[in-house]
Amino acid sequence: MRGRRGSFQMGSFRGIPIRIHFSLLLVLPLLAFLFGGVFRQAAAVAKVPPEAVGGAPVLWGLAVAVGLFASVLLHEMAHVVYALRAGGQVRSITLMIVGGVSEVTEMPRRSRDEVLMALVGPLTSLGLGGLFLLAAWLLPQPGSFSPRFALTYVGSLNLFLGAFNLVPAFPMDGGRILRGLLVGRMGMVRATRTAAWVGKGCAVLFLGVGLFTFNPFLAFIAFMVYTGAEGEARQVLLREVFEKLHVEQVMTPRFHGVEVDATLEDARGDIRRARRPALPATEQDRPVGWVVLEDVLQVPEAERSRRTVREQVRPAVVVSPEDNVWVAIRKMAEAQPPLLLVLERGRLVGTVDGDDLNAAMALHLSSGEDTRRWPRWRQERPA
């Protein structure tokens, strides 16, 4: 199954999709080659004859690479299990070239739970590292160089992964632990900004070491940490702003849509006049979904005058005027509709799309105005 942002689904865990990013498929052969080279070097240092390595080194290298990413998956699963138990919500787990990412759409509310949720990942990696090293130690010494070295290598990589993730470089696990410890004294926004600045400082340090040692991978990690810290801080600011706003303060008031019995050609004209990617589809003034310009244009022009909107209606994603805007953002992120329908007592009163949200955020950032003073929708509601 094809996933979002260049990934595909390989399975699920507790109903949460597990995705593989295409970058991981590209890097696996390279890692197999690099880890296979390490096998050859280790065998030479240990004075093990090539015929005693036991299998092609590149295949052992591939096994180490797969074992590493399986360990990363277990690391992310540990985050997910604790997040769900603490009342959080997780949309997906994605494995990619830089490791794994658990997309937590709703963080646990208590700072203590965020600390523990972040901590269980590195502890899982450290525990796996210990288990792999113990398994390597228990294998018989003669004639088992390849499996012993593979287990030792995967174990060492897990120990490094666990220790590295404890570095307080936000948004890595260590940075989240730092933020969770600061929230009680600073509040979420200030704690996030502080953890983000620490993360950026660590990123600059990583970059300096990477350039000094000619290590492009460390420089790449520095870039990811810096941009991740910036993005996380911005997301917390967005949430702080949008949780204080009601949908009716940012929506575009709208009382009519495109009737489901209208032709697709009429719908095309209405959508273009509205300068929106989509419009609500209504039946006797009751919204039943939305119709998208992209869908209409896929129908041959000669057929648009004969076919109706009813054939192209997509299911509605609905919010209330009294909902806070963060609820609307989450619904847009999860369902990815071009717009949300704002309903009051079953009747259409407005729509919300990305332009509305961007305009609200731009206004707040440019003016610094207290969002609680923004006007609310005062127009007469339909009876």
- Give the CATH number, domain containing residue 251: 3.10.580.10
8 Å CB contact between 179 and 118: no
What's residue 379's pLDDT? Answer: 43
341 and 287 both lie in a single domain: yes
The answer as to whether 155 is a domain residue is yes
216 and 279 both lie in a single domain: no
The answer as to whether 380 is a domain residue is no
134 and 283 both lie in a single domain: no
8 Å CB contact between 280 and 290: yes
190 and 44 both lie in a single domain: yes
265 and 292 both lie in a single domain: yes
203 and 349 both lie in a single domain: no
59 and 168 both lie in a single domain: yes
199 and 212 both lie in a single domain: yes
Three-state SS for 274?
A: helix
238 and 261 both lie in a single domain: no
Residues in the chain where the model's pLDDT stays below 70:
1-6, 46, 48, 50-53, 97-98, 105, 142-144, 364-383
The answer as to whether 303 is a domain residue is yes
What's residue 133's pLDDT? Answer: 92
The answer as to whether 2 is a domain residue is no
Q: How far apart are CA 291 and CA 167, in angstroms?
A: 48
Nearest to 350 by CA among 338, 362, 339: 339
8 Å CB contact between 317 and 346: no
Q: Residue 320's domain spans which residues?
A: 247-373
- Final residue of a structural domain among 211, 242, 273: 242
Pairing status of strand 252-253 against strand 258-259: unpaired
108 and 233 both lie in a single domain: yes
Which residues are registered as beta bridge partners of 350? Answer: 253, 342
For the record, the structure tokens of 233 come out as 């801080």
231 and 272 both lie in a single domain: no
Give how many domains the chain has, as a whole number. Answer: 2
For the record, the structure tokens of 309 come out as 């909107």
The answer as to whether 364 is a domain residue is yes
The answer as to whether 266 is a domain residue is yes
- Final residue of a structural domain among 226, 242, 258: 242
Cβ contacts of 326 within 8 Å, gap of 6 or more: 239, 242, 243
Nearest to 232 by CA among 185, 194, 183: 194
The answer as to whether 381 is a domain residue is no
- Final residue of a structural domain among 242, 271, 290: 242
What's residue 380's pLDDT? Answer: 41
48 and 192 both lie in a single domain: yes
What's residue 365's pLDDT? Answer: 63
The answer as to whether 354 is a domain residue is yes
